[in-house]
Structure 1
Amino acid sequence: MNITIQLKLWLLGSLSLLCACSTSEPPQSNEKETALLQGLEKRAADNLNSETWNLERFQEDKKMYAQYKEVFSVYPLNCSPFPVAEYEYAVASMPFSIQDSTKTLKGICVGEFATVDSEEPQYGLTIVVVAQNETYSEDVFVQSRNYPYLTAQGIFASQKHHFDWVYAKSPDGFSFCFVNMKLFDLRFGETIVLFPEAEGAFSYQQIRQNPHQYKSLDAFKAVIVDTIQTLLLTK
């Protein structure tokens, strides 16, 4: 066969292969991610459907929010009762303090239970304030009404400093926390360490340690103390 004809046939074959590749179907979406998104979409639709609302719970919330209006008023975001579809979901918070010879660490862990019958929560956020020569109080409100999203908010307050924080965690793995309008993407570390500074300012570190990596909360706190001590030496 003439070499020119052979070259033309090869080029035509290559061109056909390229066209076939360019028109091939895109890879299918991950089935698990698709199912999760569909579940979240259904939950959003259920919350819009008054026929699925738990009206008894809604009425109880109205009474509670009215009775404890002043208590809820301390949080960064206004708290109001709202109707949601039926759900089973349990949430938790764990405040803690650590005192050593040079500083006090004031902290809070926020989490959720895998099921309402679970004994131990899975913590998704830890905030620690390095309170040197200051006494901090804290308030926290973890809300289950946004199921299946974990939501919480709270404050750390001393005479010199005030930290407002708001937290949200999505079932798809994305979670974030605002602290005094500083956004932390918690995919890159679920423990936030705050270092108060003069004139109401603060610096911070974000570390990947979290309580469920350790056998006990005490073991986790020991690691946090060592980590913060190292951070202070480098500041």
Structure 2
Amino acid sequence: MKQTTFLFALLLLNSFYSFSQELGSKTLEEIRLKQIENINNPELWDMERMKGDIKDINERHPIRDGAFPVPHYNSLFGLNYRGGGIVSNHFARSVPEGRLEVENKEIVFCSLHIGNSPFYKEEKRNTAFFTVITVIDTVDTNNFALGSSYFLSRNHPDYGGEGSFITKDNKVEFVAFTTPDKGSFAIVNMRLFHLEYGNIILVTPQKDGSFRSLQIQGSVPPKEASFEYIKTNVLQREEVIKFLTADGVI
């Protein structure tokens, strides 16, 4: 028992050491204060990026996109943004291999992934900090699930995203974000989730117009493994099957 405890402490210390090495002598509090300072400094703004954002504004998202001037990513102590994004099966039944079903329910999901950001501990990099899973009952003419999804890095080193899945009579909308110092959070149809208590949120639209939610923990696999993990692990769990196929679900 003592040996196990010692090994765990050693691994934890090594994780903190690696994390602090990349940040140099800067604390997360100092980085946060520097981020705020940079946002208010026009000399650091990336105006070309803002012009591109104006062109890409999407009216379909739950919260309307806003094109703000943001500092160059590497202005934050030279530590740059290193990727991130979305994994989803919005394409639904247009690609047979991408279709997910639980009994007679068609399932869609969206995962938001952190890239290899030096602001986050190593075990959190290149992993999904948030996944939403729901049931749909309609697709468009190309067999894509109705809705959209979007990943945002403009609040570097805080990252987030939003999106929606539309059913015949309702809509599942979500916004989620993660921070290196304050945790990760999601809002799904105005229900707030603290993601440290479960990074996978299942939501089922009900026939009466209401919703049900289930928050569970996942192993936050890397982007390349998200689809298979959901298919072969999450959707095989007894509590998940029961939740998705309960009486009243569309």
Task: Answer yes or no: same fold by TM over 0.5.
Answer: yes
Instruction: Indicate how the Cα distance of structure 1 residues 141 and 109 shifts in structure 2: closer, same or farther if over 3 A, else same.
Output: same
Structure 1 residues 107-116 or 207-216, which shifts more? 207-216
Identity of aligned residues (%): 22
1:114-193 correspondence runs (5 A): 114-115=116-117, 121-131=126-136, 133-135=137-139, 136-172=145-181, 174-193=183-202
Alpha-carbon distance in 2 for matches of 1:61, 1:195: 33
> Who is 2:218 aligned against?
209
Q: Which residue of 1 aligns with 2:232?
A: 222
Residue pair 1:163, 1:180 contacting (<8 A) in 2 also = yes
Displacement, 1:102?
1.9
2:34 aligned residue (13, 34, 42): 42
Q: CA deviation at 1:113?
A: 0.9
Counterpart Cα distance in 2 of 1:134 and 1:78: 24
Output the aligned Cα RMSD.
2.9
**5+ long unaligned stretches in structure 1:** 1-29
Find 2:84's aligned residue among 77, 88, 91.
Answer: 91
**Runs of at least 4 residues off by over 3 Å:** 133-136, 230-235
Scaled by the length of structure 2, the TM-score of the pair is 0.69
Query: Would you say 1:55 and 2:44 are equivalent positions?
Result: no
Range with bigger deviation, 163-172 or 219-228: 219-228
Q: Give the aligned partner of residue 113 of structure 1.
A: 115
TM-superposed deviation, 1:221 = 2.5
Q: Distance in 2 between matches of 1:170 and 1:210?
A: 19
**Distance in 2 between residues matched to 1:134 and 1:94, nearest whole Å:** 20
Count residues in correspondence: 196
TM-score, normalisation: structure 1: 0.73
The offset of 1:99, in angstroms, is 2.2
